[in-house]
Structure formats: structure tokens, C-alpha cells
Amino acid sequence: MGLLNNILGTIQTTFSIGKGTDEVGIRTNSGILQGRNNGGSWENILRTSSVFVRNTSTQSISSGVLTKVTFPIEIIDNESEFSNSTYTANKTKTVIVSSSIILSQIRNGGRLELHIYKNGSSLVNVNNFFNTTTGLLVSVPNSDICSSICFPVDLNQGDTIEIYCFHNHGSSRNLSGNQFLAIRHI
């Protein structure tokens, strides 16, 4: 059965109706179902763009400086849209962007921001303020702090997504090496 699947997976089968710009079609291409409309390019039908990347090493973040978070480990990138810690949309679509970071030992009164950047500018961010006197978010000074963000983003082909963070601890802090970024076409 495995041999038969390997042989059939390389066969391209096409069904089309119409001609030229009025043509619609469906085909299998190396086992992937594809379709096209109005004579356009073939696009995958059942496979959805997904990216899941991580960083398991520490990353130094200077105080008072908005810094790009690096994600050198690609777990999933099924349409080759992720490179150099930047996601680049291969077509117009809406995606869900989700990311989480852990910053080491932020001071009382400190602030941690996590940003989703689209095309080089901050699109949305989460601000976490830490006050041990009131017990807001942190009860122990100099604790490791997690910040997470999840947001839908409309993208055109070629648009980019990056993750940035900021803190005001007063000296450099490290991301713990447990940060991730997930992007899913919806």
C-alpha cells in the first residue's frame, strides 16, 4: 500500500470546466488537493498555512529598547513563510498571531510590553505593569514574568509579521528561552 501511495502521490490529475479566464478546476498535485478559479493560479485547498516557531535559548533584551524577538527553531512552516524571525504572507489572508515570552527578573514598578509588528510598525501590544505593593500581577520582586498576545491580522501578499518586546527594568534582562510564535491562516 505504501508503494502504491508513493506512486499515486506523484501523479497529477486535473478536472477543469470552461476555457481561459472562465475556467475553474480542481486537481491533485503530488497528493495535495488544489483548485483555481477564473483561470488563475493553482492554490492548495485543504492545506492551511501554519507556522510554529520557538526559541529555547536565552535572548538579552536591553532596558528601554524595543527589541525583535528571535525564533531560530522552526517546528512547523508548511508553506515556507518564515525566515530570520519574520513571517511573510505568501498570499492575501487573515491569520491568528499568538506569541508568549518570559522575561527574567523584572523590578517592582517595571513594565513589560509584547508587540505584534506588521510591515515594520507596531500593530497591537500588551502592556504589563508590575507593582508588588498592590500585588498587581506579581507578588515577589524580581520574578520571571510571562506576557502573551493573540490577535487576528489581515495580510496582503508580502506583508510581514514580527514579534518585539520592551521592558524598563533599568538594565538588560533575558528572555528565558521558552518563547514561541504561532501563526495560523483562518
Question: What whole-number distance in Å separates Cα of residue 131 and Cα of residue 141?
Answer: 9
Q: How confident is the model at residue 14 (pLDDT cuts 50, 70, 90)?
A: low
**Model's pTM, two decimal places?**
0.72
Q: How confident is the model at residue 145 (pLDDT cuts 50, 70, 90)?
A: confident
Question: What whole-number distance in Å separates Cα of residue 77 and Cα of residue 71?
Answer: 12
Which CATH number is 50-185 given? 2.60.120.40
Least Cα distance to 113 among 53, 152, 72, 64 occurs for 64
What are the residue boundaries of the structural domains of the chain, listed by start? Answer: 2-44, 50-185
Q: How confident is the model at residue 15 (pLDDT cuts 50, 70, 90)?
A: low
Please indicate whether residue 25 or residue 150 has the higher confidence score (pLDDT).
Answer: 150
Q: What is the pLDDT of residue 44?
A: 72
Q: What is the pLDDT of residues 160-177, one digit of tens each?
A: 999 999 998 888 888 987
Average pLDDT over the chain, rounded to an integer: 81
Please indicate whether residue 41 or residue 182 has the higher confidence score (pLDDT).
Answer: 182
Q: What is the pLDDT of residues 31-89, one digit of tens each?
A: 667 777 776 777 777 567 899 999 999 999 999 999 999 999 999 998 999 999 999 99
